[in-house]
Amino acid sequence: MSTAHNPPPKGFRMPAEWAPQSAVWMLWPERPDNWRLGAKPAQGAFVAVARAISCFTPVTLGVSAGQYRHARSCFGADPAIRVVELSSNDAWMRDVGPTFVQHQQSGELRGIDWQFNAWGGLHSGLYFPWDRDNEIADKVLSMTRTPAHRADFVLEGGAIHVDGEGTVLTTEECLLHPNRNPHLSRQDIEQRLCAWLGAEKVLWIPEGIFEDETDGHVDNMACFIRPGEIALAWTDDENDPQHARSQAALAALESQTDARGRSLTVHRLPLPGPLYMTAEEAAGIDPDSSGMSRAAGDRLAASYINFLITNGGIIMPAFDDPMDDIARQCLQDWLPDYEIVTVPGREILLGGGNIHCITQQQPR
């Protein structure tokens, strides 16, 4: 059942990421104009992420018909990882998949099918076409027999975080960008976020990570780790362009309260690097006219914030960087009841995102 342009009824709310999950959804990387060397290194990274998640939560991986047998062979007979045929334009399940909402009393699930325009549409989107990606959410909801609500505006899952208690976190850089919903004001967007996500308040920070090609998705910059507490990507290097962005985000968060009226505790999670694309990495990417741009020397939007919380585990990207262990210890100190699992994230980063970007949780 699909309900066109009508938000879920009252009583439905997007759960926090730490709420119990029944599944995590992913897509398989294939396109050679984004993933180097025919996407083989990226596929290895996605396999490692799926295996790490499957220790806590079952994984369903969508893959094209042409890559189906190969993807199946990568997982053997692992009962916790299901491979299904699900065509896509790329592999960013967070942004193209559904956002699940849950009734606060009955536990009933419904799904939001946001409009997707490849992070900017015909003028500044990252690739064309994006028609298959725009069908992913509807297909996932059909497969899970979840009632679908088709939104009337553009939004990607990586542009929002929630605390499960009525608060939404996002960035002005992304949601107020004219390449998403130029006909909507800030107030319009706030009203829609609250209506569709079952929220009561939107917290805005100015910008995301420097050179993030998603126009500053919040899931690479800041996230809730529990109600009233936020982890924020941080650097003390005043010469780094990221420094001013992190400072502005901290000031914005410290000046706001959440939907329950709480002042926010902000934890500073150090950034790796800066990291840059090497000439060898760039040479392995096939040039294409679809809009993708990859070149040696490009600064990569690397951030440890791009982790997934799932059923008692945290799957965190690592970059073979001196900050890896420090970031991991920070998360362990802040969230002592979770098992922190690190997975190499550079190959995913080269494609423009990381672990949170390639996953989407389904509540239990």
Query: Among residues 174, 223, 330, 357, which one is catalytic?
Result: 357
Instruction: Give the containing element (helix H, strand E) for 173.
Output: helix 172-175
For 292, half-sphere exposure in the C-beta direction (CA atoms, 13 angstrom radius) is: 22
Q: What's the sign of the alpha-carbon dihedral 340, 213, 209, 265?
A: negative
Catalytic residue list contains 357:
yes
List residues bridging with 231 in a β-sheet. Answer: 223, 267
The β-bridge relationship of strands 201-205 and 59-63 is unpaired
Q: What is the DSSP letter of 200?
A: S
With contact defined as beta carbons under 8 Å apart, do 93 and 49 qualify?
no
Q: What is the DSSP letter of 178?
A: T
Angle ∠(97,33,207) on CA atoms, nearest 5: 55
CA 185 to chain centre: 24
Angle ∠(60,64,67) on CA atoms, nearest 5: 95
Encoded tokens for 82:
């299901």
* Closest to 333 (Cα-Cα) out of 221, 222, 231, 218: 231
Active-site positions? Answer: 357
